[in-house]
Amino acid sequence: MLRIQPEIQHALRHQKPVIALESTIITHGMPYPQNVETALKVEKAVRDNGAVPATIAIVGGVLRVGLDLDDITLLGQAGQGVLKTSRRDLPYVVSRKKNGATTVAATMIIAEMAGLSIFATGGIGGVHRGATASMDISADLQELGRTNVAVVSAGAKAILDIPLTLEYLETMGVPVIGYKCDEFPSFYSRESGQKVDCRLNTPSEIAAYLLTKWQMKLEGGVLIANPIPKRAAMAYEAINPAIEQAVEEAGLKGIKGKDITPFLLGRIVELTGGKSLEANIQLILNNAALAARIAAAMIIEKDNL
């Protein structure tokens, strides 16, 4: 059921840094052909920073760790016609030999199966606005609580209830590290009004933290919050009205569950005249670069512990 690309197998055997990458950003995160272009740029950002990219998806029922250009193009052209796959969906997609785009949760699961410990994404899922009534809470949060993979992201998606998302992560025992920041970023913006658990300023400090945590047998992941670059950031006051309008429209249309995030992100792109899409691209490239540097630092730090 699991197929690891030969280049990635070689890197793992020789203790080279490898970075897991998700595939819902290809199918559900942005339109074609920008999705394919962005996926290739993200892989390049990983390579440019000294690591091997491992984009993860399910192709024909096979858990694939590492995709070639044909695979990425297939997913990109199919778009939202590909099944958005989280933990609960994995047995169905695999047993029925379907194609699946992996969420943060599913990517973490498959990454751990393959022996990968660092994963770069855009923003994690979390507690949705209005969740006190809908109980709409992403499986990403529970996965972070039990799977030994560190996730580098630009915080949580701005469409979420960020204070409740951080409360849930605390309940699950998930540490939230701020990379060169004290405030938790909110995807498009560098600020949210919420604090991180601790601030670390170098990839080496983060690498030492991760190795220490897992050597102490403290199971579960770590969320590494990496703010969007200043040049690409959108002011919180500017993006929030678009988010609130999109959330209201989703409620009126009865959109919920796994369909709500693609709808909200797509609608926000429309409401911001495409500015949010460019911000999304820049932040995932930034996260991929940091993840590669952390993975490389982990190999060095292993000798110091």
Domain extents in the chain = 2-304
**Which residues share a beta bridge with 225?**
153, 178
Among 64-68, 144-148, 159-163, which stretch is predicted with the lowest mean pLDDT? 159-163
- Is residue 125 classed as helix, strand or coil in its secondary structure? coil
**Which pLDDT band holds residue 272 (cuts at 50, 70, 90)?**
confident
Q: Helix (H, G, I), strand (E, B), or coil: what is residue 79?
A: helix
The model's pTM: 0.93
User: What is the model's pLDDT at position 196?
Assistant: 98
Distance CA(33)–CA(211), nearest Å, equals: 38
Q: Is 19 exposed, middle or buried (0-12, 13-18, 19+ CB in 10 A)?
A: buried
Q: What's the mean pLDDT in 135-145?
A: 93
pLDDT at 138 over 70: yes
186/251: higher pLDDT = 186
- Catalytic residue flag (residue 157): yes
The pLDDT assigned to 305 comes to 65
What's the pLDDT tens digit per position in 75-92? 999 999 999 999 999 999
Among 67, 50, 59, smallest CA distance to 16 is for 50
Res. 237 pLDDT band, cuts 50 70 90: confident
Note the pLDDT of residue 56: 98
Structure confidence at residue 256 (pLDDT) = 79
Of 22, 43, 183, 301, the active-site residue reads: 22
Which single residue is written with the structure tokens 């991760």? Answer: 210
Please identify which residue in the block is written with the tokens 């409740």.
Answer: 164
What is the tens place of the pLDDT at every residue in 6-62?
A: 999 999 999 999 999 999 999 998 889 999 999 999 999 999 999 999 999 999 999
Task: Fold for 2-304, please state it.
Answer: Indigoidine synthase fold (3.40.1790)
- Active-site entry in 84, 143, 157, 183: 157
Nearest to 70 by CA among 80, 61, 62, 59: 59
Strand duo 18-21 + 118-120: pairing: parallel
State the average pLDDT over residues 252-264: 81
- Is 131 a residue whose pLDDT tops 80? no
Q: Read off the pLDDT band of 238 (50, 70, 90).
A: confident
Distance CA 263, CA 243 (A): 11
Residue 200 predicted with pLDDT over 90: yes
Active site residue 16: no
Please tell me the least confidently modeled range out of 44-48, 231-235, 264-268, 278-282. Answer: 264-268
pLDDT bracket for residue 129 (50, 70, 90): confident
Would residue 60 be called left, alpha or beta, if left means φ above 0 and alpha means ψ between -120 and 50 degrees? left
Q: What is the β-pairing status of strands 150-153 and 118-120?
A: parallel
